[in-house]
Amino acid sequence: MSFFTTHPLPACVRAIVLYALALCSVGAAASTQPVEPAGSGAALSLASAIRQTLQGNPDLAEAGHLLRAADARIAQAGQRPATELSVDVENVLGTGSAQGFSGGQASLALSQVIELGGRRQRRTEVAGAARDTLAIGVQAHRLDVLAEVTRRFVEVAAGQERLAMSRRAVDLAEGAEADVRRRVEAGRAPEVDLHRAGIARSRALLAQEHAEHELLSARHRLAAMWGATQAGFGEVTADYYRMPEPQGFDDLVARLRGNPDFLRFASQERLRDAELRLAESRRRPDVEFALGVRRLQDTRDEALLASVSVPLFSARRATEFVAEAQSRRAGVDAARQAAFVRTQAQLFELYQELRHALNEVAALREEVMPALETVLGQARAAYRSGRYAYSEWTDAQRELLDAQRALIESAADAHRYLAEIERLTGEPVTAPRN
């Protein structure tokens, strides 16, 4: 867990990292270890992919700049109105007695707006609440990015399994072609079976090539998450078929409100409350004071100037601003409830899909695949002894490969559903097993 000490993260972000540790391979023997078109670098775990994404993802780097800009806005909001210096010159460059500057008047004055109603503090509160809302949004975006890197990692792991399956399909096709050739040469099978076996081998090779290209694309999509243009890592290491036991649905629902998507509503409440207080402060008008001196050029006299200005009808003009702020504040509660209902429905759907995927993986691994492996061996022996036709043997091969393909996709679905649920709840669905 040294990763957490060097990269302090919110609990909602640590959930994704904990899932990474759950998916990572415990050891080389625990993985199926398929060979893939990998780079020359070291093997990549999900925890390592997440670490690199946190360090190098361009979108996350932008978020830091946005937070610093929000800090600057807080400082801006806390500034007092600037003191103004005004210079007025009158009765100059005219006609008659106003010719030249001899009869002119010059005024020099300083003016200052005094904000009443605690308006400067209210502005600072609004800017601070806006910054808090932005920070929650950054956490949610970070969680989105980590969920996406998890999905892409799972896709690479699934691609490795698909490539391994396609290579096994090639081995089966080549072995079948060799067996058919021996029977054809011995006059115990028609030559058309040999042509069919050759076609099956060619198709298997094409499927393998397609799996290689798909895996390469998935690897590049994963590397792009930390800003890399090349997938320089080796194969990804994951205990791909190790399935978790998720918590109960009610427990997951209870944790929804800890997600940044819902913490954002609490932050928005504070922001709307601050905006309402700022709008109410408009009921008290600002007062502007000015103080200066006037020079009467024709008499060489000087006089003191002073003025006070106050805008009229401020309370009435503030009414609509207050009404707007109140409506925005009331809208937060409605939006929170709508989001909770919508998210709970989404969670229920994902949870059901996860349970189905887990059941499918268990049935395929524990029942279907072992039975089909036995059937394949028996079908091959029966073909060699002449008791089965070539089509019956290839049917057994196809059924095995179809089941293997279904197992790969079901396992990928389970990992994806798990990541999506943890994205919604902001917490691990299950703790890693020892």
* Number of compact structural domains in the chain: 1
Rounded to whole angstroms, how far apart are CA atoms 201 and 61? Answer: 49
Rounded to whole angstroms, how far apart are CA atoms 358 and 141? Answer: 29
Q: Is the pLDDT of residue 428 over 50?
A: yes
pLDDT tens for 141-156 read 888 898 999 999 999 9
Give residue 39's pLDDT: 55
If pLDDT is split at 50, 70 and 90, which confidence band does 434 have?
A: very low
Rounded to whole angstroms, how far apart are CA atoms 118 and 192? Answer: 93
Give residue 282's pLDDT: 80
Q: Is 410 domain-assigned?
A: yes
Give residue 222's pLDDT: 96
Rounded mean pLDDT, 249-277: 83
Burial bucket for residue 121 (CB in 10 Å: 0-12, 13-18, 19+): middle
Q: Is the pLDDT of residue 220 over 70?
A: yes
Domain that holds residue 324: 2-81+117-281+315-425
**What's the predicted TM-score (pTM) here?**
0.76
- CB contact at 8 A, 236 and 44: yes
Lowest mean pLDDT, pick from 3-12, 198-207, 226-235, 414-423: 3-12
CATH number at residue 77: 1.20.1600.10
Give residue 273's pLDDT: 85
Token pair for 146? 């980590």
Q: Is the pLDDT of residue 138 over 70?
A: yes
Q: Is 432 domain-assigned?
A: no
Q: Is the pLDDT of residue 5 over 50?
A: no
Q: Is 64 domain-assigned?
A: yes
Rounded mean pLDDT, 57-72: 87
343 residue type, one letter = T
pLDDT tens for 65-116 read 888 999 998 898 888 888 888 888 877 766 666 566 666 788 888 888 888 8
The answer for residues whose C-beta is within 8 angstroms of residue 273's C-beta and 6 or more apart is 129, 329
Token pair for 420? 């999506």
Q: Is 99 domain-assigned?
A: no
Give residue 371's pLDDT: 97
3-state secondary structure 62-89: HHHHHHHHHHHHHHHHCCCCCCEEEEEE
Q: Is the pLDDT of residue 43 over 80?
A: yes
SS3 317: helix
- CB contact at 8 A, 278 and 125: yes
- CB contact at 8 A, 160 and 215: yes
Q: Is 335 domain-assigned?
A: yes
SS3 231: coil
Q: Is 102 domain-assigned?
A: no
Q: State what percent of residues in the chain have pLDDT above 90.
A: 39
If pLDDT is split at 50, 70 and 90, which confidence band does 255 have?
A: confident
Q: Which is more confident, 331 or 377?
A: 377
Token pair for 388? 């089965």
Rounded mean pLDDT, 251-273: 83
Q: Is 274 domain-assigned?
A: yes
Give residue 332's pLDDT: 86
SS3 281: helix
Give residue 9's pLDDT: 43
Rounded mean pLDDT, 252-274: 83
DSSP 366: I
Q: Is 308 domain-assigned?
A: no
If pLDDT is split at 50, 70 and 90, which confidence band does 40 have?
A: low
pLDDT tens for 160-191 read 999 999 999 999 999 999 999 999 998 898 99
Encode burial over 105-118: b for 16+ CB neighbours within 10 A, e otherwise: bbbebebeeebebe
If pLDDT is split at 50, 70 and 90, which confidence band does 217 have?
A: very high
If one counts every other C-beta atom within 10 angstroms of the C-beta of residue 209, the result is 11
pLDDT tens for 327-375 read 888 888 888 888 889 999 999 999 999 999 999 999 999 999 999 999 9
Average per-residue pLDDT for the chain: 84
Angle at 108 between CA 105 and CA 114, to 5 degrees: 135
Angle at 173 between CA 168 and CA 175, to 5 degrees: 95
Nearest partner of 32 among 152, 164, 214, judged by Cα: 164
Burial bucket for residue 227 (CB in 10 Å: 0-12, 13-18, 19+): middle
Q: Is the pLDDT of residue 7 over 70?
A: no
